[in-house]
Structure 1
Amino acid sequence: MPNSWRKSSRSTNTDNCVEVGRVESGAAVRDSKAPDAGYFTTTADQWRLFVTAVKAGRFEG
């Protein structure tokens, strides 16, 4: 489990609330509105590819 969580700068107070934490193998991601619901983890390579795709706008409608 991550030692600390950081809220995404893209999160809002009412929706789209995501927190990211560092784990040994890469990153952990959870919904900041429901932290007890759990989290998922990714490898460092998966996280890097995801962030690159987000920055490139690949998930925008």
Structure 2
Amino acid sequence: MNFASFGDFLAMGHHGAYVWSAYGICLVVLVNNIAAPLLARRRYLQEEARRLRREKGK
């Protein structure tokens, strides 16, 4: 598919809103699939460190 200009590329033959929103949603899902486990792991390790400090103090 050839486009005459960058604006035509972004418009995607009047389907640009659908195309770019689909890409945006996919990007958000992919970033979430990477970030959520990393954040959960960090939270788990912090909670375990707190628990170990509490048990050591007893």
TM over 0.5: no
- Pick the structure with more helix per residue: 2
Higher RCO by CA contacts (8 Å cutoff, separation 6 or greater) = 1
- Determine which structure has more spread, i.e. the larger CA radius of gyration: 2
